[in-house]
Structure 1
């Protein structure tokens, strides 16, 4: 009887039911869209942080440079002198450790032994400045001229004189090329900045190539320098064979070249040294505790987590994220509350127009509880219908955002003091200074939790509306029906 009467009343009041459902649907759709966009913002921010950290990395351990260490590494270039006048090609590389003060490789082992650490690997960040060109030696030439004796002492006549020799010709033509090199622990490629790049040509390192003269090149740098798999690149007199081309998932790589860690240590004369230690925790929920443990047991180090870096993200991504968080969520809550109130008022109003109907039912023996349940049942169905429409509209909104994929830019600011360049290409994520912007395409993924939230809101909206309407219906008396009889 309950379901039969419920279906009949909903069919009879289709317009009123549709209005109530659409009010709830708009509020629920806005909640879904805002939550999906916020999730997309978080995913985009995660890509920015991964471009520094590396996929699967929970934190990094570094040591800030001291003022003395930062100022002592000025580049120096030495060229051999040439005794003849011919043009001679000259080339010199200056390889410097970049970003942070070096840590002993033994610190990597010490970090990996800390409670809560699943694994840890070290990396060495280098900056190479290459000066390449030629000198052309000038020629010393003297000129001979005549002079009159009118002004000479002793009354002598004119004569020839030889002027001081002058250098003619000669010069120099040099180009300067600066690029970054990252020494990678090839025995563990599951951590570190190279994990954010996909090998699009050739292959990655093998575990046995710990001291091999091989290199993986970032695709953008390879395109600029016209490098291909099989080409060679010379760094400070050492030739490296290119075995792979890597394309960064985030659109911005951390280094131009990746080589085995031992080779990087040899080039920089930094045996058994690293600049950044990449750490993976055993439990992602205990990262803060692991950070505190490392800082306590390994003095002088700086531990940086993704949450530390998240606050430094700037650019349109940060602006849009703040807008979605501060304005979007509050707006969706306000609209949702308004939708609930409108649904409740409309349901209550509908009950007031059904005084004669409910009064007659009570006169026929319906108890107040049964009338209340009937009204709440109708409101509950309206809420479910509004939830279904809201989910459809919300999915359409999220799909539209994903289809448009607006591009947002982001960059990371400094999170600690000390001289150094930022990023693993510049020493690690703890000191990102003047980093170039990373362009991220925004998506709006809809999670199961978001759909569950929408269903819960639909049920809640129906219950709120039904409570108001049921309370109003329970107060009706059979005598009220007689007053409304025309």
Structure 2
């Protein structure tokens, strides 16, 4: 009887049912779109953060560089020495200077100490370096006496004889090129942690666990293209040749370093034996990151622990703005529309009950009690809500698909100041964005998507049922107050 009466009433009042369902559908569709866009914002932000500290890293441990007034380390300045030879003018000379980049170095033992803290699943160290290579040649000058042609014997170049009175040196000088690139020493025994995990090997292979002290290297694809390097080639750093075993391409468009070496080799190049600049930490439980951070800061003195949430605060640009709109304005707009839709559905259902006074009065006179009448009204309202839910899910999926299809590009700007204070500014910890980056902000472009998960669909169904129950509560309350005698007085 219940379903028979329900089906008949829905057929009789199609327009009213469509109006109620459409109102709920708009609210539910807006919730789906906002939820999916917010999820897309989160994924875009995760992609940006992974380009800085690597996939799988929950936090980093660093030690800020102290100023000389505080009695700490002085930032090392490169010094270059060249021979000023009288013979062999025009011979190319070059020298490499390897600098520890970013934070103050930490002892290897600190990595073990961090790994022993409660809640830490794994901890590995890394060393960020900046290589400055200067290469070029000196050229002899020619001594020319006043009123005479040039003489090859007189030299104004380095090591040449002093010019006599009445003459001058013409030509000569020096032509040197300065090339700078970043090198990162990675712990090859822990390939699942660190900045190299944010890149994928597109040619060759990555490091083997046995290559802890091997003269091998992985090169970032952008650097390889610039220097015309391929797998199997060799690169020379401070007189040491390294064989390129793989080419890595950064997933987020910007690599953590130009060149990756085994940690021991990087320590040898920088004369930084048993030293690291950054410790990458993975927690046993992602929900306990804050407590792990507190434990490390308490038990490993002088260090700064930075989580992905801390680094996320440094992200600005259109990604940050859009995320704020989606989580702020979008959420409140969704709530407002839903509340309005629920109220409208409730009022329309209550109004429909008013128009069915004689009908319900007659049913009560025939033996229906108030609970049965109320249940009938609530059942109709729930069906209206489910209809609105189906329509709302369809509209929401269409909206999310449209956002993904258009895939608007958002910019994420990562300010250079975060790294200097101990932020997760890449392996070097200097400017945010990795070792050797400029002090200026780094900008990444990410495409926005709007993924719709099962949770979002379940939320939509729940809202649809809730909307029907709210509307049914209005109508049911009104129907339960009807008295058969009052209703029958209206019968003509």
- Mapped partners of 2:466, 2:58: distance in 1: 38
Q: 1:426 to 1:299 in 2, by over 3 A?
A: closer
CA contact (8 A) 2:142 2:171 kept: yes
- Normalization by structure 1: what TM-score? 0.92
| CA shift for structure 1 position 416 | 6.3
> Residue by residue, what CA displacement relative to the aligned partner does 1:143-176 show, whole Å, maximum 9, x if unpaired?
358xxxxxxxxxxxxxxxx843311111222222
- Mapped partners of 1:418, 1:31: distance in 2: 39
Match status 1:244 vs 2:246:
yes
Q: Secondary structure at the match of 1:205?
A: coil
> Residue by residue, what CA displacement relative to the aligned partner does 1:325-379 show, whole Å, maximum 9, x if unpaired?
1100000000000100111111111111112211221222222221111111000
- Mapped partners of 1:343, 1:262: distance in 2: 69
- Normalization by structure 2: what TM-score? 0.91
| CA shift for structure 1 position 248 | 1.1
Match status 1:275 vs 2:281:
no
- Mapped partners of 1:144, 1:472: distance in 2: 118
- Mapped partners of 2:243, 2:316: distance in 1: 38
Equivalent residue number for residue 379 of structure 1: 381
| Match among 468, 472, 475 for residue 466 of structure 1 | 472
Residue segments in structure 2 that go unaligned for 5+ positions in a row: 149-163
Equivalent residue number for residue 458 of structure 2: 452
Q: 1:446 to 1:418 in 2, by over 3 A?
A: closer
- Mapped partners of 1:101, 1:420: distance in 2: 13
- RMSD between superposed Cα atoms in Å: 2.0
| CA shift for structure 1 position 36 | 0.9
- Mapped partners of 1:183, 1:279: distance in 2: 16
Q: Secondary structure at the match of 1:224?
A: helix
Equivalent residue number for residue 149 of structure 1: none
Q: What is the aligned length?
A: 470
Equivalent residue number for residue 58 of structure 1: 58
Equivalent residue number for residue 329 of structure 1: 331
Tell me which moved more, 175-184 or 412-421.
412-421
- Mapped partners of 1:232, 1:118: distance in 2: 36
Equivalent residue number for residue 357 of structure 1: 359
Equivalent residue number for residue 476 of structure 1: 482
- Mapped partners of 2:290, 2:352: distance in 1: 55
CA contact (8 A) 1:27 1:336 kept: yes
Equivalent residue number for residue 115 of structure 1: 118
- Mapped partners of 2:145, 2:207: distance in 1: 62
CA contact (8 A) 1:99 1:420 kept: no
- Mapped partners of 2:187, 2:430: distance in 1: 15
CA contact (8 A) 1:398 1:445 kept: yes
> Residue by residue, what CA displacement relative to the aligned partner does 1:17-38 show, whole Å, maximum 9, x if unpaired?
1111111011011111101111
* 1:13-412 alignment runs, 5 A limit: 13-68=13-68, 71-84=74-87, 86-143=89-146, 163-412=165-414
Equivalent residue number for residue 6 of structure 2: 6
CA contact (8 A) 1:304 1:429 kept: no
- Mapped partners of 2:121, 2:474: distance in 1: 55
- Mapped partners of 2:287, 2:11: distance in 1: 51
Tell me which structure has the larger Cα radius of gyration.
1
